[in-house]
Amino acid sequence: MIAGRVPVIAVSALFALMPACALLTKAAPIEPRYFSPEMVVAKHVEPASPIALELRLGRVNAGAYLKDRIVRRDSMYEVAYYDERLWTEKPETYVKRALAQAIFDERGVRQVRSGAALTLEVDVLAFEEVMKPAHVGRVELSYVLYDDRVVRLSRSVVVERPIAAAKGDAAADAIVEALASAMSLAVDAVAIAATTELHTEASAQTMAP
């Protein structure tokens, strides 16, 4: 009778040891690191225009794949995410805040909250690390400027900035710095296009009989 129970005892002992083995081989928990592409830099503030310029900053949306995790593009058709590298906010939040600063703070345009006014809307199509053919940070913005009747301007801008070669913690910093630079240049391009159109409209109104 005792001999017949030995296999059962052995199997039971094996199962009892399994949780302990799993605990010993369990990978260390991932500790996320949070980054922001907003750099505190002194920017040139343009003198106020003698003609009052007004603009409404409408929606700023991002592609569904652009969330809080930093995106890595491995090919034209494939993207991946870093588990441990996250943004403090979603990319569209950074872009909208940068646009408001570039247009209203730096260029002196008055922000319209209600009533008739030209409206600027932006889609963030790319905010990612690109691995090849070149290792760069890429930001792509598609924007439209319209009034209550027609679209005045509809374009897109793509900016790529090289990512410096680095290892360890410095590698993440290099990615963020490249994307911060790309975002700043892309936002400035949109701000210049929008304010140029505002100047054109304002000049046409002053010359009208």
Its pTM stands at: 0.82
The yes-or-no verdict on residue 109 having pLDDT over 90 is yes
DSSP 8-state symbol, 38: -
How would you classify the pairing of strands 136-146 and 151-162?
antiparallel
Q: Which token pair is 159?
A: 């900016």
- Over residues 152-176, mean pLDDT: 95
Looking at per-residue pLDDT, the higher value among 101 and 115 belongs to 101
The yes-or-no verdict on residue 8 having pLDDT over 60 is no
| pLDDT bucket at 140, cuts 50 / 70 / 90 | very high
The yes-or-no verdict on residue 47 having pLDDT over 80 is no
CA 41 to chain centre: 18
What's the CA gap between 135 and 161, in Å, rounded?
A: 9
Q: Which token pair is 11?
A: 């199997």
